[in-house]
Every structure is written in structure tokens, then in C-alpha cells.
Structure 1
Amino acid sequence: MAYNISLTGGELLMRSINYRLILVQVFVAIFLCINIFLITTFFRKDFFYTTMRYILFAITLLSDCLILLATNSLLIFSYFSLTMKMWLCLIFYILTSVYTFVTPVTLTAMTLERYVAICMPLRHGELCSTRNTMRSILIIHGLSSVPCIVFLCTLLASTSLSFYIQYKVCSVEMFVLHNWQAHIRSAISEFYFLIMCFTIVFSYVKIMKVARAASGEDKKSTWKGLRTVLLHGFQLLLCLIQLWCPFIEAAVLQINFMLFINVRYFNYVTFILAPRCLSPLIYGLRDEKFFLALKYYALCGLYKKHIFT
């Protein structure tokens, strides 16, 4: 979803708080550099791109990079009141809409992978094979595209060709022409929210049972997996709250424009930027093998210890 700030009726106000735009650029640049380094590390070792959890991790990194680039571009376009044809804005909307869902759906798939690894270890190799991982990626993108496809169908049924050749400042709100469109989008987002929350809770409860019954090294490994699921749950919660932000912002806009600007800025930083910095924490630093690979390449090969088996 495009979290861009409209300057209509408030251009002078936005100019006076340009430090926020600069701060966002700093955050985006830092996150992109970290993610690019992680993606580069991922492709340098065949162990990573033949293991399901690392492949899904790479998908989240690529999705996060695309979301950051697209939403930040729209933020800049809106800040400087740069217009574009609506068909081009629609392309931006499609990309941001699909990949807004790709990240939480992938996180859900990663949680299920941890559930299989801990609760069904004998079937983990079969269920989480490279071939099944490729199928999972297709399913993830298919499920993530459903909300966008539904919304596009409602949009195409409500607009004429002339709508797409107009020049306007790009904003997702321009595609919501009727209240019932917003209601449909809200219903789909809530449905996805419930399914993903159920999956997280189910996996957590099952892993908790295994953790209590395990002993020794198995217990340590299981509790580590449990903490990973908890972090996925927190990251997923932030991503899912993001799906509700447009409805909160629309309500706030009716009350006060300055409050709307502050709420939208807070939502962008908290529910778009923040979840994107948790992926490097969960698998970039907490995962032993990936951390050793990062350390090895960060030190230009001077750190010799690595355990890619």
C-alpha cells in the first residue's frame, strides 16, 4: 500500500517539517544497505539457497527492499507535488499492494517451517525440500495477489479509460472511489489477519509442548525455535497493523490535517520501516550459520571459522 503524503491543502505545513523526510531517507538507505549485504551473503553459499528457511528469508529481504523503494519514491513524489499518469500510479499501487502481503505471508510460511522442523523432524527433509520451497514461493505470491486482484476488479468496474490518463499526485486513496470498495479491502485484510494469527498461535502452542518434553541439546534447540516464532509473531503483528493504517488515517484526516500528517508519519516509520529491520535481526544475527557467513564476508575473509554443512 502506498504510504505517501498528499500536499493538497497543506503544502506549507509539509515544507516546515522536511526534517522528517530527511530522517526517512537515512533510515531507508541504512535498511537497504543492510538488506543488500544480507542478500549478497545469501547467494554466496549454496547451503543457503538450498535450504527452505533461508530461501524464505531471502524472499522477505527482496520484498522489503521493493516495498522500501516503492513507498519511499511515492513519498518523495508527493512531498514535491510531482504528478504522474494514473496508469503509472496504478502500477505502483499493484507492486506495493502485492508485496505488502508478501512479507507477512512469507513470515507465516517461515513459522510453519519452524513448526515442521521441531514438531515433525522426520518429515522436515521431505516437506521442506527445494522443490516444495519453489512451490511455496508461488503459493505465497498467489495468495498475496488475491487482495490486489479483487480490488482491481472493483476499480475497473467503477472507472472509465479517461481516468487512467489523468495527471495527479499518486495516492492509493484516489483508487477508492466508493465506500464499499474500502469495506471489501478491509474485510480481506481482516480475513488474512485472522488466518495468519491462528497459524502463529497454533505453531507456538505445538512448539511449546515439544519444548517442555525435550531434554538436553534438543531442549535448547527447541526453545531457540520458540523464540524465533515469537519474533516472527511480533514482526507479523507490525506488518498486519500496517494493513489497517489506511482506514485509521482516513478517519483522522476528517478530524485534523496536522494530526493526519503526524499519524501517517508515525505509521510509516513504525509499521513499514520497523518490521523491515527485524528480518536482519531474526536471521541475520540470531541464526548462527548466517551470522558466521556475515562475519566472514564483513571481515573480507579474515574470519576463517565457518560451519556450512
Structure 2
Amino acid sequence: MADNSSLVGGQSLRKIHARVIIVQILVMIFLCINLLLIMTFFKKECFYKTTRYIFFAVTLLSDSFLLFMSNIMLICNYFQFTMPVWFCMIISAVVILYFVVTPVTLTAMTLERYVAICMPLRHGELCSQSSTVYCILIIHGLSSVPFIIFFSIFFASASLSFYTQYRVCLAEIFVLYRWQDDIRAGVYQLYFVLMCITIVFCYVKIMKVAKAASGEQRKSIWKGLRTVILHAFQLLLCLIQLWLPFIETAVLEISFKLFIFVKYIDYILFILAPRCLSPLIYGLRDETFVHALKSYASFGLCKRNT
């Protein structure tokens, strides 16, 4: 009996290790790709002076940071490492912030495409380098609202002794009462609705302009429309993330083992997958960026051969 139980335990442990290794490989691949794209972004002046490329760099940086931090939390959860609640709070605050930064930035990128196509005469004024910096600050300000509300409620509810306890670092440990989860759900649903309305509004307006355009202008506008559609799909995956905490909280009440498995699947499908689309949308579909990327990746050999 002892041998059988140890065999089952060993198989279970190997399965857990295999899952963790798969995640580490995927995270390393995505981080290396993002690093290459970020370095390419800083190589050409036209990139860091153009609004859409600046937003692209913001998504790459926020995605990379989120992947790194959430991966650490995933490893800690898998092996049930414990840490002081106050330290877990700091990590969770950063993860929640960059969890929201990407979908908000994608919404801003869609608005930039709307301005470029539907208001071309005002694009230079509204999407200047200085206004883009202010927009990035606004993006981070809006993205910080959920974790400020979430932790303000926690501060008002938790006792001082709770902060020094050692727990497995999960966002769920900060939900002490059901009404806290309801408020968190309300905030995320509000963000979900506002971002969906913005995407649909931009799509409809660009579609109208595309139908009225002709020739080269029509071709350019339809390319912008396809970019908006890709943004919408990527944003949909990111917005599904906003619903994950409520699904995971319900699963946690059933079984911690099932919760870890669901969290693993959610991480692969709705955190890793959407973040591989950013390089596709702007890194590989944009001719200017692709040319610079090839030149940089081949150490300038492509440039010398052309």
C-alpha cells in the first residue's frame, strides 16, 4: 500500500512539474520575443515619436512585467510557498495594475486608429508625442482604480495581525466578505462595458469611412479596420480575464487542487495567449517595424544586402 501511494504521489508530482516546466518555456519564449521587439522599438527614432508605436511599446512592457510577476505567483501557488500577507499585497497590487493596463492601452490604441482614419486633419494635434505621454499617465491612472478600491476595502476590513500571517499568495485571501467580491465584480464589469462600447463605436465609425473611401485610401482604411478587429479580439481575451477571479473564487470553495488546475488553464488561455497577439498585430503586420526587426535581428545583414 505504501509503495502504491508513493507511486501515485510521484506521478502526481511529475505531472505538476511538467505543467510548471511547460509554463516556464512559454513564458521565456514570449519574454524573449517581447525583449527583441522592445529593443527594436528603441533603435529607430520614428518609433518612439509615433503614438501607435509608443502604445505598442507600453503593451509590450506591461505584458512582459505581468508575465514575469504572475509567473512567480503561479510557481508559488503550485508549490504552496507561503509569504507574509503584506508582501503578497505588494505583489498582488502590481499584478492587478498591469492586469488592467493592457486592455486599457488596447482601447487607447483603437481610439488612435479612429482619430487617424476618421479625423486625419486633427491626428497630428491629438496624437502628438506630448499628448501621448499624458495619455500613458491617464492609462495607468485608470488602471490603478481597481486595485485602489480593492485594497482600500481590505484595509478597512482586515485586522493588523492579518498582515503578518504567512499565506499562499492569492488575490482571494484579500476577499474577507462576500460584498467585497461583489464590489470588485462591479468595478470590472464597468470597465468591461466601457471598453466594449469604445471598440464598437470606433469599429462602426471606421466602417462608415471605409465604405465611402476609394482607391489607395480605401486600402489603407481597410488595413486600419483589420487592425481594429484584431484589437477587438485581443481585447475580448483580455476582458475575459476580468471575469476569471470570480470563476476561480467559486472553484476555490469547492477544492484547492481543482482551483490550481483551473488557474493553470486560465493562465495559458487568457494571460499567455492574448499577449502573443501584440507582436503579431504591430510587430509582424507593420512593414516598417518588420523591416527594422529583420535588420536588428540579423545584426544589420539584411540592410547591407538590400
Note whether the superposition's TM-score is higher than 0.5.
Answer: yes
1:14–1:79 Cα contact (<8 Å) kept: no
How do 1:117-266 residues align onto structure 2 when only pairs under 5 Å count? 117-255=116-254, 259-266=258-265
Determine whether 1:90 maps to 2:84. no
Question: Structure 1 residue 24: deviation in Å?
Answer: 0.5
Question: Structure 1 residue 147: deviation in Å?
Answer: 0.8
Question: Structure 1 residue 261: deviation in Å?
Answer: 3.7
CA spacing shift, 1:52–1:249, aligned 2, 3 Å: same
TM normalised by structure 1 equals 0.92
The separation in 1 between residues aligned to 2:36 and 2:141, in whole angstroms, is 28
1:107–1:236 Cα contact (<8 Å) kept: yes
**Alignment partner, residue 63 of structure 1:** 62
Question: Structure 1 residue 163: deviation in Å?
Answer: 1.4
- Once the two structures are superposed, residues 195-232 of structure 1 have per-residue CA deviations (whole angstroms, 9 ceiling, x without a partner) of 00000000000000111111111011000000000000
Which secondary structure state, in structure 2, belongs to the residue aligned with residue 192 of structure 1? helix
Question: Structure 1 residue 259: deviation in Å?
Answer: 4.4
The separation in 1 between residues aligned to 2:147 and 2:120, in whole angstroms, is 36
**Alignment partner, residue 27 of structure 1:** 26
Higher share of residues assigned helix: 2
Which secondary structure state, in structure 2, belongs to the residue aligned with residue 46 of structure 1? coil
How do 1:32-47 residues align onto structure 2 when only pairs under 5 Å count? 32-47=31-46
Question: Structure 1 residue 13: deviation in Å?
Answer: 4.8
- Gap regions ≥5 residues in structure 1: 1-9
The separation in 1 between residues aligned to 2:253 and 2:14, in whole angstroms, is 21
2:16–2:78 Cα contact (<8 Å) kept: no
Letter in 2 for 1:188: V
Letter in 2 for 1:46: E
CA spacing shift, 1:149–1:280, aligned 2, 3 Å: same
1:285–1:291 Cα contact (<8 Å) kept: yes
Question: Structure 1 residue 296: deviation in Å?
Answer: 0.8
Which secondary structure state, in structure 2, belongs to the residue aligned with residue 168 of structure 1? strand
- Once the two structures are superposed, residues 2-43 of structure 1 have per-residue CA deviations (whole angstroms, 9 ceiling, x without a partner) of xxxxxxxx9995653321111100000000000000000011
The separation in 2 between residues aligned to 1:181 and 1:14, in whole angstroms, is 35
Structure number, greater radius of gyration: 2
The separation in 1 between residues aligned to 2:64 and 2:11, in whole angstroms, is 31
Letter in 2 for 1:100: F
**Alignment partner, residue 4 of structure 2:** none
**Alignment partner, residue 5 of structure 2:** none
Question: Structure 1 residue 164: deviation in Å?
Answer: 1.3
**Alignment partner, residue 107 of structure 1:** 106
The separation in 2 between residues aligned to 1:257 and 1:161, in whole angstroms, is 26
CA spacing shift, 1:55–1:244, aligned 2, 3 Å: same
- Once the two structures are superposed, residues 215-260 of structure 1 have per-residue CA deviations (whole angstroms, 9 ceiling, x without a partner) of 1110110000000000000010111101111111222334455543
The separation in 1 between residues aligned to 2:12 and 2:179, in whole angstroms, is 32
The separation in 1 between residues aligned to 2:90 and 2:291, in whole angstroms, is 39
- Gap regions ≥5 residues in structure 2: 1-8
2:84–2:163 Cα contact (<8 Å) kept: yes
Determine whether 1:282 maps to 2:281. yes
Letter in 1 for 2:193: L
CA spacing shift, 1:13–1:180, aligned 2, 3 Å: farther
1:81–1:169 Cα contact (<8 Å) kept: yes
TM normalised by structure 2 equals 0.93
The separation in 2 between residues aligned to 1:249 and 1:184, in whole angstroms, is 16
Which secondary structure state, in structure 1, belongs to the residue aligned with residue 157 of structure 2? coil
The separation in 2 between residues aligned to 1:11 and 1:155, in whole angstroms, is 39
CA spacing shift, 1:33–1:278, aligned 2, 3 Å: same
1:292–1:305 Cα contact (<8 Å) kept: no
Query: Which stretch has the larger CA shift, 79-88 or 191-200?
Result: 79-88
**Alignment partner, residue 16 of structure 2:** 17
Question: Structure 1 residue 144: deviation in Å?
Answer: 0.3
Give the RMSD, CA atoms, in angstroms: 1.8
1:253–1:260 Cα contact (<8 Å) kept: yes
2:78–2:260 Cα contact (<8 Å) kept: no
- Once the two structures are superposed, residues 264-285 of structure 1 have per-residue CA deviations (whole angstroms, 9 ceiling, x without a partner) of 2221101000011000000000
